[in-house]
Amino acid sequence: MAGGGATLYSAVIQRLPPRMLRPALTTLLLLACGLAGTSQAGDGPGVADPFDTEAGLRPVPCAQPRSADLLGLADVIDQALCNNPQTREVWAAARAQAGAVGVARAAWLPGLNATLGSSRVRTQIEDKATTNATVNSGSLAFSWLLYDFGAREATLESARQLLAAAVATQDSTTQAVFLAALQAFYQVHAQQAALEAAELSEKSARESLAAAEARYRAGSATPADRLQAQTALSQATLTRIRVDGELKNARGTLANAMGLDAHRPLRLATLAATEPPTGFERDVDALIGEARGRRPDLAAAEAQAQAARATVDATRAAHLPTVSLTAAPTWQDNSGLNTHTSSIGLTVNIPLFSGFGQTYRVRTAEAQAEQKNAQRDRLRLQVALDVWKSYQSLITATQSLRSTADLLAAAEQSERVALGRYRAGVGSILDLLSAQSALASARQQRVQSNYDWNVSRAALAQSVGALDAGILPVLTGENPRPAIGKP
């Protein structure tokens, strides 16, 4: 307090009788402690957590920055989880729900309020003398809800389940950011490989043009051969320019996934060559069962359904009687005339009729609970579909990766033979251009199949609910790292 507030405070405290002084000071001390608690440095900025409601929250994972080094997949994911606004958003949402749990738990504790006042009263009756009086007063109000037929228990259970849902949503968002960063990382490498393939195709087209011009100068080729070769070179050049632009866009997408500006330059480590393992197939039924036990979004839906059921109980209990303990000592000094009063007792509040509003509130809560149950059941079916589609995509990508290796080897051999035949004067320009087109297509298919295989493995892990840092050694062959996102 300052100024007039301090004077009022001193005036009232000095005039309090001894038997009122201790309760007043106790109240003020409690208030001061409460105010001080809000300014202590806790888990959040300047707000304490007396009920420790944030003990089970997942902290935002942040590793030490390695901006000066080449960034591997693990480094990209670390920075994405640390810097991406989505992870901070769900972290803040979980903390907000933890605060709601604290509010629900606070309903079990008593409430205490203090009131101190001082006023100057001036009284004048017609032409008679004027009287001035100073009135000082103080009071304490204590209330404690003793029994409410389970309303507080249901409200607290609903808040706890919503907190569990918020934590599960945080895990689900973390996996989504993880997968987005992984896809962006592999997309950059895929576009880099596609650019290298386009440059090789452009080089081959330039060699074909040189061979056509050499044969034209020797008189063994027509102008059409040279024009067709020039057209193929122009098309290869346009393809290389387009792929180079897609590479730049992929780099911007990766920077955005990492929570950085799109124009931020990134230095990525070379992606190690990997081959699909043999015998990795698993029972799909087992994968679906594992997914239903691990998927965080399904856990969030189940928690929301339980919270809705608890809300139904709390809504029903809101129309039942409550029993409270109240106490209120007061004191007043009116120009030397002291008055002391105090009261203590039990208050029973019995709701009798509210215009059927309570009936419809219960009906609304029951309908919302049915809605949450239906959403949970729908998600259970969606989990099975996600696992099935991701598993089949991985099988397809694995088979494609193995097939494109043979396709690329055959296309390279065919292009070498066609070029040699054309240079020797026994092949046609159409055969050579067709072989080079097939080789360019095989290179692009090889790049795409390698990208699909890498991403499909991660997508299957996410559909099962197992996408965290523990899977990185499987994806990259690196040494195991501690799990990301664990407290």
Q: What per-residue confidence (pLDDT) applies to 55?
A: 85
| Tens digits of residue pLDDT in 147-181 | 999 999 999 999 999 999 999 999 999 999 999 99
Residue 479 Rama label (left phi>0; alpha psi -120 to 50; beta): beta
C-alpha angle 188-260-271 in degrees, rounded to nearest 5: 25
- In single-letter form, the type of residue at position 290 comes to E
Q: What per-residue confidence (pLDDT) applies to 13?
A: 41
CATH 1.20.1600.10 holds for 50-109+150-319+357-476 = yes
What is d(CA 103, CA 112) in angstroms, rounded to the nearest whole number? 16
Nearest Cα to Cα of residue 463 among 335, 291, 250, 270 = 291
Q: 73-83 burial, b for 16+ CB within 10 Å, e for fewer?
A: bbbbbbbbbbb
Domain parsing of the chain, residue ranges:
8-38+117-147+327-353, 50-109+150-319+357-476
Q: What per-residue confidence (pLDDT) applies to 39?
A: 39
| Tens digits of residue pLDDT in 414-438 | 999 999 998 888 889 899 999 999 9
Q: What per-residue confidence (pLDDT) applies to 220?
A: 81
Q: What per-residue confidence (pLDDT) applies to 64?
A: 57
Q: What are the residue ranges in the chain where pLDDT is below 50? A: 1-46, 479-487
Contact in structure between 484 and 469 (CB atoms under 8 Å): yes
Considering only CA atoms, give the Rg of the chain.
37
Contact in structure between 298 and 175 (CB atoms under 8 Å): no
